[in-house]
Structures are given as structure tokens and as C-alpha cells.
């Protein structure tokens, strides 16, 4: 438990743990609507920060939402998979909820490209306080740090990950220690913990307080990581780390920043670093930079995981996904996502130039994700757990009233940069939904071209040409066991041959994170289907076996390994040597037409995405020297 708690500190809390670098500063330096430096307003802001963290993180995520796991896995795509797999009576409800889940995942991408930019910029900006003469180097150093961060992704997080926990322990120790020192000299600051100050702030300065919420929410950025990374560490270690270390350290530091601002109003320029004595500022800049790299690493890894889940659930085409650890399944690297995020993050850093300017763009994605998570969680509680309507209504009132207020406040920042995460989210949402819809249409049209496998086998003996059987094992990958693999049909109709042993493999991605080996395989010898009378159909070819391989949406879809497992347990008749099998794939060329179903521009987008999909042989881990690909055209 101690090791898991330490690991959780290093991975889960990097984002929210670095929020003190910029959250309070953003409240008091916001253009046009900055909060005045006097006791009622400063105490009001610190009260809002504390109770926002309490309500959203401690109560909502840690106490409630983390109960909604998909076999141990968390995150908005896990909630989406739960609802997608629920088979609700009203399919329109399921479609709508799944759409909200996809929108939430799209907002996560918007959050994911802003987090590295604002975190690294805010950390390196400490040079302006520690060594003012180096202020002009803040932007170049930030670019170098981010370049190195994305460059090392291909090597995985194993080596760096061993240092994450201890570094974050030191980081939270520094947060708490400087907080204790400041509060010890000015204990009256503790009064800001009372919710009455936050309430009074709204009563006295309604418009200013409302605008301030857009910056206050920066204190809870990273809350989604507690839930999304639950599968890596478990619920208990994350809760222990939060309540015993992270929450107290954050509270002490935010209180101390409020105290410093009251006794030295000029400190609003950078209250975090000005809390430190001069000799400690430069070392803390270095520590903060490392901490923000860790925070960025967690978000980048999260983007990789969300992408993998989206691919497995059918919302993205197959992408090249590389596993960087022999022991940890969740440590993956997605080159296409890494490159896209790097270019976007670099453009954001250069365009905005400072963490203060970027703060206006941050909150929209975060608050939007909060709202969607709450809606999906309440849907799970009602539709799957069958909680009472009054309890769901109470939860919606408590959580959504807070989060909608945060979201509305951030909408005021849209013209000042808030459009950025919204534009990114809209882009990803369009990509995800276009692929999902286009895939359904192409699948239907492909099924028509394939024809029933039963009819194909029945007519093998009645072909106008002789079909010869050749030695060896042929593995034909197909979407299901009911239709004929196009590669199998082409092999018979063009080459007039059939391998002595044919294995038709259908890969199914289940809406659970992992499928155990004992449940991975289902073998149907001789493809025994039911005829019109319900009796099994005795097929004329007894050398064909159907195998359904089930993977979870976080599993690696390794087909050869699964077939070796089938042979090891003697599940396949005749015990073929699957290590020498030839794998047959159907390479589809998609041709857009004027047929209804999707607009022309979405069809062209779908075709572009399909052309950039990963090689299916690589995706399913097929050996290159044993794979044969045939081509076919599908119109849609």
C-alpha cells in the first residue's frame, strides 16, 4: 500500500499539485476584472479555492465518482463503456450518453495540450523572481523543456517513473512547509477556511466574484486524473495520498499565498515564488520545473490511454500503439498523438508567451469535462445501480450547480483564449463521431460484399472450377464468423485453392478494460451454424474452424499469442502449428459516393482517416513474413 501510494503521488497528483504555481496569481492579475487586495476579497478568494477543492475533488471525485469503475479502470471513456454496454431499453438514451462521453474525451484532449504549456511556463517563469536578468530566457527554456519532454516519450516512463514519487513527496513537502512558516507568523489567515467568506465575497462583489471563478477553477485542474488513473494504483492508495499528503499541502500553500498578498500587495506578481526566501527561489524553480514535467507526463500518458480506448471502442481508426514496458500494460506510446500534441503545445507556448495569458484558455475544457463526468456518473448511478430519483436529483443539484457556475464563468474568457480548447474539442469530437458513423456504414456495405460464410462453404463443392487443398494453416481475419472473409473468397475464386486447415478469426473488443485468458477464446469447430429448422448445419468442409478472440479495450490485440493459447489448451481441432500459419488480411479501399448516410465532407474526412490508419498486420501483431494481403473496394 505504501509503494502504491508513493506511485500515485508521482503520477496522479502532478497536475493538481502544480496548480499553486498559477491559480491564485491568475485571480489577482486577470485583465479588467482583477480582485482587489483587501482582506474581505482575499479571504473570499482563498475560501472559494478551498471549498472548490473540497467539493469537486474530495467529495465528488474521491468519495463518489471513483466508486464507478469499469473492472477497476476509471476515466470518462470507462464511464462511456459502462453505459454503452448497458443495453438500455431506450437506445436513443444510450446514444446520447455515449455522445456526451465522446465529447468529454474530446475536451480532455483540449485540456491535455494546455496543461504542459501552462505548467512548464509557470514553473520556468520563477526565473523572473529568482534571477530577473534571465527573464528573457523563460520562453526559450520552456520550449527546450517541452521538446525534451515529448522526445523521451518513445522510451516510456519506466526510468523516469521511478523518480516521480520521491520528487513529488519533496514537492508537496515544500508546499506544506512554506505554508506552515507563513501561517505561523499570520495565523489569522486560517479564518479564510470558513465558507462564509466565500459567500460574503459573492454578496458584496457579485460580478467580480463570478469572473474570479474562471481563475479559481485552475486550483482543481487535474482532478480528472484521480479518476482516470485509478486503474494503475487502485482506489485506496489514491484516497490515502490525497487526504494524508496532497490536500493538506495544497490547503496550507493557498492559505499562505493569501496571507502574503495581504501583507505585501505587490506579491500578486508571483505569490508562489515570493513566499520563499531568496536563497530558496532558484532551487525551487528547478524543483517546480521537474514537477511540471511530471504533471505534463501524466496528461500526455492519459492522452495515449484515452486514444487507445477510443480505438478499441470504435471511435478512431487503428493507430500504431507501442508498449514501452514488459511489466506495465498501461505504459504505451502512440507516435501520431505524441507528434500532434508536441506541435500543438509548441504553437500554444509561442503564441501565448506566458502562463498568465494562457490561464484564460485553461478553464473551459476542465469545467466542461467536470460537467460531463457528473452527468455520466449520475446516469450510471440511476440506470445501472438503480439509485432513487431523489438521490440523483440531490447529486445533480449539489455538483452541477457548482460546475455549471464554473463553466459559465469561463465562457466569459472565450474571446481571450477560451476558444482554443473548445476548438480542439470540436475538432476531436468531429473526428471521433465521423469515424464511428462511417465505420458503421462501411461495415454494413462490407457485409453485403462478403456474403454469409455458411452459403460460401456450402457451395464450395459446387463451384464451376475445382478447389484444391494445399498443405498448411491459413488464418483469415474477419469482423465476425457469419460473413465470408474477402481474402478467403478471393483465394478460392481467383487462385482456386484452400489451405488444408482454415481458421477464421474474429477479434472482438469488449467494453471492459481487460479480458482474462480463461475467457479470451471461443472456438466453433467446423463453423456449426443453425439451419432454418434450428438443427446444426453439417458443412461439406471439415477443415474450417472459427475462433472468436476477445480483448478488453486496454488489452494488446495480439492474435498470434491468442492462437498459441488456443493450441496450448488443445482448443483447435487437429492441433495445427499456428507458429507456421499464414495470415490473410483484406485491405479495403473505400470509395465515397453520393449515397445517403453522411455528408460529402464527412465522407472525405473518413476516407482520409482510413488512409492514415495503422497497418492491421502491425496492429494485430501479425508476423510480417507470414502475412498475405489482398485488396478490395467498398463503396459508401
Beta strands 544-552 and 497-510, pairing class: parallel
Distance CA 135, CA 50 (A): 32
pLDDT of residue 619: 87
pLDDT of residue 77: 82
Distance CA 150, CA 261 (A): 36
Distance CA 299, CA 225 (A): 8
- Please, are residues 48 and 216 in contact by the beta-carbon 8 Å criterion? yes
Residue 205 neighbours by CB distance under 10 Å: 17
Q: How buried is 19 (Cβ within 10 angstroms: 0-12 exposed, 13-18 middle, 19+ buried)?
A: buried
Distance CA 331, CA 324 (A): 6
Q: Give Cα 269 distance to the centre of its chain.
A: 34
Distance CA 72, CA 70 (A): 5
pLDDT of residue 326: 55
Q: Smallest Cα–Cα separation from 58: which of 240, 209, 190?
A: 240
| Residue 283, phi then psi, degrees to nearest 5 | -60, -35
* Residue that has been written with the C-alpha cell 505587490 in this structure: 266
Domains of the chain, first to last = 2-435 (1.20.1740.10), 451-635 (no CATH)
Distance CA 543, CA 501 (A): 5
| Residue 627, phi then psi, degrees to nearest 5 | -120, 130
Q: Going by C-beta distance under 8 Å and a sequence separation of 6 or more, which residues neighbour residue 63?
A: none
Q: Residue 371 has which C-alpha cell?
A: 460537467
Q: Smallest Cα–Cα separation from 425: which of 368, 353, 373, 351?
A: 368
Chain segment 65-86, per-residue pLDDT in tens: 998 887 777 888 888 888 877 6
Mean pLDDT for each consecutive 10-residue tract of the chain (636 residues)? 76 86 87 77 95 95 88 81 72 83 89 86 86 88 91 68 77 96 93 95 89 90 80 82 95 96 92 92 90 80 82 87 63 86 93 80 85 93 91 94 92 84 91 93 88 81 73 89 89 85 88 84 63 42 79 85 86 72 89 87 92 88 91 85
pTM: 0.82
Residue 552 neighbours by CB distance under 10 Å: 23
Q: Smallest Cα–Cα separation from 584: which of 480, 471, 502?
A: 502
Q: Smallest Cα–Cα separation from 284: which of 414, 126, 402, 440?
A: 126
Q: Give Cα 602 distance to the centre of its chain.
A: 24
pLDDT of residue 134: 84
- Please, are residues 52 and 216 in contact by the beta-carbon 8 Å criterion? yes
pLDDT of residue 90: 64
Chain segment 256-313, per-residue pLDDT in tens: 999 999 999 999 989 999 999 989 989 999 998 888 887 787 778 778 878 888 888 8
Amino acid at each position: 500500500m505504501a509503494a502504491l501510494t508513493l506511485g500515485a503521488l508521482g503520477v496522479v497528483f502532478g497536475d493538481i499539485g502544480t496548480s499553486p504555481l498559477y491559480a491564485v496569481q491568475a485571480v489577482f492579475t486577470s485583465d479588467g476584472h482583477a480582485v482587489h487586495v483587501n482582506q474581505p476579497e482575499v479571504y473570499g478568494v482563498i475560501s472559494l479555492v478551498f471549498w472548490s477543492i473540497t467539493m469537486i475533488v474530495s467529495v465528488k471525485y474521491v468519495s463518489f465518482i471513483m466508486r464507478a469503475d469499469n473492472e477497476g479502470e476509471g476515466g470518462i471513456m470507462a464511464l462511456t463503456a459502462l453505459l454503452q454496454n448497458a443495453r438500455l431499453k431506450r437506445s436513443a438514451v444510450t446514444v446520447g450518453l455515449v455522445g456526451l462521453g465522446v465529447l468529454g474525451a474530446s475536451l480532455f484532449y483540449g485540456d491535455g495540450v494546455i496543461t504542459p504549456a501552462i505548467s512548464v511556463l509557470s514553473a520556468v517563469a520563477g526565473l523572473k523572481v529568482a534571477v530577473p536578468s534571465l527573464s528573457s530566457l523563460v520562453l526559450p527554456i520552456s520550449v527546450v523543456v517541452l521538446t525534451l519532454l515529448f522526445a523521451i516519450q518513445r522510451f516510456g516512463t519506466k526510468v523516469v517513473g521511478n523518480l516521480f514519487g520521491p520528487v513529488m513527496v519533496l514537492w508537496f513537502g515544500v508546499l506544506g512547509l512554506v505554508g506552515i512558516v507563513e501561517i505561523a507568523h499570520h495565523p489569522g489567515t486560517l479564518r479564510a477556511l470558513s465558507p462564509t467568506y466565500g459567500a460574503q465575497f459573492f454578496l458584496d462583489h457579485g460580478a467580480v466574484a463570478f469572473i474570479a471563478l474562471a481563475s479559481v477553477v485552475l486550483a482543481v485542474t487535474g482532478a480528472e486524473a484521480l479518476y482516470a488513473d485509478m486503474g494503475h494504483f487502485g482506489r485506496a492508495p489514491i484516497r490515502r495520498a490525497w487526504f494524508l499528503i496532497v490536500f493538506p499541502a495544497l490547503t496550507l500553500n493557498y492559505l499562505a499565498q493569501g496571507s502574503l498578498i495581504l501583507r505585501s500587495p505587490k506579491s500578486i506578481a508571483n505569490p508562489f515564488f515570493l513566499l520563499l526566501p531568496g536563497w530558496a527561489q532558484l532551487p525551487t524553480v528547478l524543483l517546480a520545473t521537474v514537477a511540471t514535467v511530471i504533471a505534463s507526463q501524466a496528461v500526455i500518458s492519459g492522452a495515449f490511454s484515452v486514444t487507445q480506448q477510443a480505438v478499441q471502442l470504435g471511435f478512431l481508426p487503428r493507430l500504431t500503439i507501442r508498449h514501452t514496458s514488459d511489466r506495465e500494460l498501461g505504459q504505451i506510446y502512440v507516435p501520431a498523438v505524441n507528434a500532434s500534441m508536441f506541435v500543438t503545445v509548441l504553437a500554444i507556448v509561442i503564441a501565448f508567451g506566458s502562463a498568465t495569458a494562457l490561464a484564460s484558455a485553461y478553464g473551459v475544457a476542465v469545467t466542461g469535462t467536470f460537467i460531463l463526468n457528473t452527468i455520466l456518473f449520475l446516469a450510471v448511478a440511476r440506470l445501472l445501480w438503480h439509485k432513487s430519483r431523489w438521490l440523483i436529483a440531490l447529486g445533480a443539484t449539489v455538483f452541477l450547480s457548482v460546475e455549471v457556475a464554473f463553466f459559465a464563468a469561463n465562457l466569459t474568457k472565450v474571446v481571450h483564449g477560451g476558444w482554443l480548447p473548445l476548438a480542439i474539442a470540436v475538432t476531436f469530437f468531429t473526428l471521433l463521431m465521423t469515424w464511428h458513423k462511417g465505420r458503421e456504414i462501411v461495415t454494413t456495405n462490407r457485409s453485403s460484399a462478403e456474403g454469409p460464410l455458411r452459403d460460401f462453404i456450402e457451395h464450395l463443392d459446387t463451384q464451376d472450377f475445382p478447389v484444391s487443398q494445399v498443405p498448411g494453416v491459413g488464418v483469415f481475419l474477419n469482423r465476425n464468423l457469419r460473413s465470408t472473409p474477402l481474402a478467403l473468397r478471393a483465394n478460392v475464386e481467383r487462385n482456386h485453392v484452400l489451405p488444408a486447415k482454415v481458421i477464421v478469426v474474429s477479434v472482438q473488443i469488449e467494453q471492459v478494460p481487460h479480458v482474462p485468458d480463461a475467457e479470451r477464446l471461443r472456438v466453433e469447430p467446423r463453423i456449426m451454424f443453425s439451419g432454418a429448422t434450428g438443427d446444426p448445419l453439417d458443412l461439406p468442409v471439415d477443415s474450417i474452424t472459427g475462433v472468436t478472440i476477445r480483448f478488453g479495450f486496454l488489452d494488446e490485440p495480439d492474435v498470434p499469442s491468442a492462437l498459441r493459447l488456443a493450441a496450448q489448451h488443445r482448443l483447435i481441432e487437429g492441433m495445427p502449428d499456428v507458429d507456421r500459419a499464414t495470415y490473410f488480411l483484406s485491405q479495403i479501399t473505400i470509395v465515397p459516393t453520393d449515397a445517403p448516410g453522411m455528408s460529402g465532407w464527412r465522407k472525405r474526412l473518413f476516407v482520409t482517416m482510413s488512409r492514415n490508419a495503422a497497418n492491421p498486420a502491425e496492429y494485430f501483431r501479425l508476423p510480417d513474413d507470414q502475412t498475405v494481403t489482398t485488396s478490395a473496394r467498398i463503396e459508401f
